[in-house]
Amino acid sequence: MTRTLSWFFSMLALAAMLLLLGIFAWQSIPVWQHDGTRYLTGVKWFFRSREFGALPMIYGSLVVSFIALIVAAPLGFGAAICTAEYLPRPARLAVKVLIELLAGVPSVVYGLLGILLLRDWIYDVFARFEPLNGDTLLTAGILLAVMVLPTLVTLGDDALRGVPAAQRRAARALGLTRAETLISVTLPQAARGFGSALLLGFGRTLGETIAVFLVVGRQDNNLPEHWLSVNKWLESGQTITSKLGSSETNIAYGDPLHWAAIAGLGLILLAMTGAAAFLGTSFGKRSDA
């Protein structure tokens, strides 16, 4: 009975996911017919002349997520190591509770803080590079770093706690210092968990909408000459989510091709976050084996 039910509900969850993908795929059919794969690789998005190229937004989403993880990973994993390996139990719980509280702050609040503090700070600190304004990919990336921090700390902490205490005791008994135990025994075993935390964090940053929307500047078609160039980091950009959150969705509705292009962005985003979550989950699991 329990087995049947659990199968049933698993299938229900799977069906919901497939239905969601199906709806977006179905709604976006016109744009694939119109542009084919050029929809993914096209670099210009001008809906009035029916040009729909999603690449600048895919770039924007990847860059802000990348910046967020680069900034948040050392901080988050550092905090995880501190809480899991060094802090006494009561302090560890207190820190964990506080950090998990951070995860509960609504993202619009982060967005408003970003407007209040972060955009002016970026605008002043990087003044020598003459950014046109404070709404840049970098601003969005740093804001996302703050938002993804709780995910990294919590999952990193879990990964470290997952390493059996007996191994730590054995290492200490062999005369290794605490730091040596950490570097040569605990961290290698928690590495998969850290990787999984990064992937799940990546999925979270890809999908974040309102906070990014408020500070990213929403400039279309701002793609650098080279993918590795950082010049555009200090310029306004557009992510998939900021595009979906914009008033263009109101204009698109009722126009099959334009609407399909918007729904297609949803499909791309869903595929990207889905892949990150799937990889993150399966990547982490094997560490227990």
Partner 1 sequence: MKPLAISLAALLVLTAQICAETLRINGSTTVNLPVAESAEILRAEQKMDIQVDTQGGSSGGISMLGDGLVQIGMSSKPVSAEDRAKYPSVQFNEVHVGEDAVALIVSKDVWDGGVRSLTKQQLKEIYEGRITNWKELGGKPQRIAFFNKEPGRGTWEVFVHWVYGSPAAAPKVSFPEVGGNEETRNKVASTRGALSQLSSSWADGKKVFALALKGDDGVPVAPITENIATRKYPLSRPLFLLTKGEPQGAVKVFVDFLLSERGQDLVKKHGYLRLKDLVK
Q: What is the per-residue binding string for partner 1 in 154-193, x denoting contact by CB under 8 A?
A: ----------------------------------------
Stretch that binds partner 1, among 46-54, 88-96, 100-108, 263-271 (CB under 8 A): 46-54
| Both tokens assigned to 73 | 């990973």
Q: Which positions ≥6 away from 206 have C-beta within 8 Å?
A: 61, 65, 240, 241, 269, 272, 273, 276
Asked whether position 128 contacts partner 1 by CB under 8 A, the answer is: no
Closest contact distance (angstroms) between CB of 211 and partner 1 is 14
Asked whether position 132 contacts partner 1 by CB under 8 A, the answer is: yes
Is the separation of the CB atoms in 113 and 106 below 8 Å?
no
Closest contact distance (angstroms) between CB of 137 and partner 1 is 11
Asked whether position 217 contacts partner 1 by CB under 8 A, the answer is: yes
| Both tokens assigned to 277 | 């979550």
Cα–Cα distance between 169 and 178 in angstroms, integer? 10
First to last CA, the chain: 28
Is the separation of the CB atoms in 259 and 50 below 8 Å?
no
Asked whether position 120 contacts partner 1 by CB under 8 A, the answer is: yes
Work out which of 251, 257, 277, 279 binds partner 1, going by CB under 8 A: 251
Cα 212 to the center of its chain, rounded Å: 11
Closest contact distance (angstroms) between CB of 53 and partner 1 is 12
Q: How many residues does the chain have?
A: 289
Work out which of 221, 224, 257, 287 binds partner 1, going by CB under 8 A: 221
In the complex with partner 1, the residue whose CB is nearer, 237 or 264, is: 237
Q: Is 121 exposed, middle or buried (0-12, 13-18, 19+ CB in 10 A)?
A: middle
Asked whether position 119 contacts partner 1 by CB under 8 A, the answer is: yes
Stretch that binds partner 1, among 98-106, 128-136, 149-157, 184-192 (CB under 8 A): 128-136
Closest contact distance (angstroms) between CB of 127 and partner 1 is 9
Cα–Cα distance between 10 and 88 in angstroms, integer? 39
Cα–Cα distance between 148 and 276 in angstroms, integer? 14
Cα–Cα distance between 200 and 218 in angstroms, integer? 25
Asked whether position 44 contacts partner 1 by CB under 8 A, the answer is: yes
In the complex with partner 1, the residue whose CB is nearer, 194 or 233, is: 233
- Residues in contact with partner 1 by CB under 8 A are 44, 46-49, 51, 115, 119-120, 123, 130, 132-135, 217-222, 236, 246-251, 253-255
